[in-house]
């Protein structure tokens, strides 16, 4: 073989990964307070993961064989010792190219597992070039040399991959914890808390109309202190209370199952009224219908002390296009402060299973879709959508489907 440069030998991979961790910490610490408190933290997380994650190199194969191509053949002459004499030997140099995917820098580093035998080659963009010097025309011997060298390279790439996968997995946890810690510190430094206190007292002695009653609690959201910085924390409904409200709405399905005849002829307004009665029966906020909000109006709006803490839209299922339009409608209603919403979707005279199967992909195809939460309900779906007025603002949208008796 015509030896070029040894691969996996410039530095230890461990050292490179440790330096990367330091760079991550430094970048997170350098993020300005106003930026980190204003921007969506999930977006920063995804950006850092994308920037610092490593894609381990893999040789491209075709039909399970390495995709190798002869790119150069030339004659050369080199000196060789022969029985105590130095003689000139003529040979042919064959240079082969192997394309690969992944981070080309990884060919420089020694993994945590390695052998005493190093492969040789040159990295040129996304191609690995390996060279062999042949003094005869024995194709089988050349093929054996190539196979041996490629096997050694793939063994090293396997070791690299093991180290990189471990690093990438730790990276997600490390970045998430570091971002959360820094954001919490910045909030404390400014003497602020991330949300405004809004008490929502649930009524005492409320009967368990549909299910086991929620434990009655005084619900408060911390009120932010005044700050001269541009960042202004806003009021928001605690996730736990939002989930309790969603649970209250879900329980209406039980009522429909127990008294189907009462719902046969109901339209959107009648159905909405039943949901309003249940919400007002559980919470001492103000649940109203068709209340104007920002640039539109919404079917159900819960207000406490003049602040919108929850909104929902009631619609009959008319197909994916109708759901898209409903999402646009809800996003158009939302002011900057409203971050938790629900869409109550009623199905009548249609295959309910088919409707349920279409909901996730329909929402995911919307231009404001970001991600879907795992749900333990067959008729409930939760998503994160981005706001129309600010891409950094995330909206939690829960979609509840109800099969209305015919």
- The model's pLDDT over 340-365, given as tens digits with 9 standing for 90+, comes to 888 988 888 678 899 999 999 999 99
Q: Tell me the Ramachandran region of residue 63: left when phi exceeds 0, alpha when psi lies from -120 to 50, beta otherwise.
A: left
Quick one: 262 and 147 in the same domain?
A: no
Quick one: 138 and 86 in the same domain?
A: yes
Question: Which of 226 and 26 is assigned the larger pLDDT?
Answer: 26
For residue 155, the SS3 value is helix
DSSP string, 214-240: PPP-EE--PPPPP-SSS---EE---HH
Quick one: 320 and 359 in the same domain?
A: yes
User: For residue 4, is it within any domain?
Assistant: no
User: For residue 36, is it within any domain?
Assistant: yes
Quick one: 318 and 201 in the same domain?
A: yes
User: For residue 55, is it within any domain?
Assistant: yes
- In the structure encoding, which two tokens stand for residue 27, read together? 């970048």
Quick one: 379 and 336 in the same domain?
A: yes
- In the structure encoding, which two tokens stand for residue 20, read together? 């990367």
d(CA 269, CA 311): 15
d(CA 398, CA 125): 47
Query: Can you give the residue range of the structural domain that contains 243?
Result: 195-403
Out of 173, 188, 203, pick the residue that ends a domain: 188
Number of domains comprising the chain: 2
Pairing state between β 218-219 and 127-134: unpaired
User: For residue 302, is it within any domain?
Assistant: yes
User: For residue 182, is it within any domain?
Assistant: yes
What is the reported pTM? 0.52
Least confident residue range of 153-162, 218-227, 313-322: 218-227
Q: Model confidence over 193-220: pLDDT tens digits?
A: 444 444 444 555 544 333 333 333 333 3
Average pLDDT of the residues of the chain:
78
In DSSP terms, 80 is beta-bridged to 87
User: For residue 37, is it within any domain?
Assistant: yes
What is the predicted pLDDT for the residue at 129? 92
Quick one: 92 and 154 in the same domain?
A: yes
Is 1 in contact with 120 (CB distance < 8 Å)? yes
User: For residue 2, is it within any domain?
Assistant: no
Quick one: 160 and 222 in the same domain?
A: no
Quick one: 181 and 239 in the same domain?
A: no
- In the structure encoding, which two tokens stand for residue 65, read together? 């064989």
Quick one: 167 and 209 in the same domain?
A: no
What is the predicted pLDDT for the residue at 212? 31
Angle, CA 306 vertex, CA 303 and CA 310 arms, to 5°: 25
Q: Is the pLDDT of residue 404 over 90?
A: no
How much is the average pLDDT of 224-234?
Answer: 41
Out of 159, 188, 217, pick the residue that ends a domain: 188
User: For residue 323, is it within any domain?
Assistant: yes
Quick one: 309 and 167 in the same domain?
A: no
d(CA 36, CA 288): 36
CB atoms within 10 A of CB 269: 11
Quick one: 219 and 143 in the same domain?
A: no
Quick one: 62 and 78 in the same domain?
A: yes
- In the structure encoding, which two tokens stand for residue 134, read together? 């042949």
Out of 188, 209, 229, pick the residue that ends a domain: 188
Q: Is the pLDDT of residue 60 over 60?
A: yes
Least confident residue range of 47-51, 53-57, 72-76, 297-301: 297-301
Q: Is the pLDDT of residue 252 over 50?
A: yes
């Amino acid at each position: 073989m015509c030896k070029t440069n040894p691969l996996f030998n410039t530095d230890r991979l461990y050292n490179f990964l440790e330096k990367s961790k330091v760079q991550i910490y430094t970048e997170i610490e350098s993020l300005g307070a106003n930026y980190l408190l204003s921007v969506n933290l999930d977006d920063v997380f995804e950006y850092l993961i994308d920037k610092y994650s490593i894609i381990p190199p893999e040789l491209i194969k075709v039909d399970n064989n390495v995709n190798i191509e002869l790119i150069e053949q030339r004659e050369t002459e080199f000196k060789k010792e022969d029985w105590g004499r130095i003689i000139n030997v003529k040979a042919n140099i064959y240079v082969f190219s192997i394309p690969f995917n992944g981070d080309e820098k990884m060919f420089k580093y020694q993994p945590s597992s390695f052998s005493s035998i190093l492969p040789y080659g040159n990295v040129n963009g996304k191609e690995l070039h390996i060279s062999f010097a042949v003094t005869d025309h024995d194709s089988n011997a050349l093929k054996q040399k190539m196979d041996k060298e490629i096997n050694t390279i793939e063994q090293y790439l396997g070791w690299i991959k093991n180290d990189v996968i471990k690093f990438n997995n730790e990276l997600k946890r490390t970045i998430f914890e570091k971002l959360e810690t820094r954001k919490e510190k910045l909030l404390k430094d400014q003497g602020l808390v991330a949300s405004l206190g809004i008490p929502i007292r649930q009524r005492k002695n409320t009967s368990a109309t549909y299910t086991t009653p929620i434990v009655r609690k005084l619900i408060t959201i911390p009120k932010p202190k005044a700050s001269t910085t541009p960042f202004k924390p806003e009021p928001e409904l605690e996730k736990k209370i939002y989930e309790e409200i969603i649970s209250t709405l879900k329980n209406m399905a039980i009522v429909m199952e127990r008294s189907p005849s009462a719902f046969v002829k109901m339209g959107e307004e009648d159905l909405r009224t039943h949901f309003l009665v249940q919400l007002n029966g559980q919470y001492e906020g103000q649940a109203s219908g068709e209340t104007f909000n920002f640039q539109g109006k919404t079917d159900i709006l819960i207000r406490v002390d003049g602040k919108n803490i929850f909104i929902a839209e009631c619609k009959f299922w008319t197909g994916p296009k109708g759901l898209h339009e409903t999402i646009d409608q809800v996003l158009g209603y939302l002011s900057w402060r409203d971050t938790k919403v629900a869409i109550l979707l009623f199905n009548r005279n249609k295959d309910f299973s088919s409707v349920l199967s279409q909901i996730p992909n329909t929402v995911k195809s919307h231009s404001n879709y970001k991600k879907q939460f795992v749900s333990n309900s067959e008729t409930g779906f939760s998503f994160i959508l981005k706001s129309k007025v600010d891409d950094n603002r995330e909206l939690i949208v829960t979609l509840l489907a109800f099969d209305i008796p015919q």
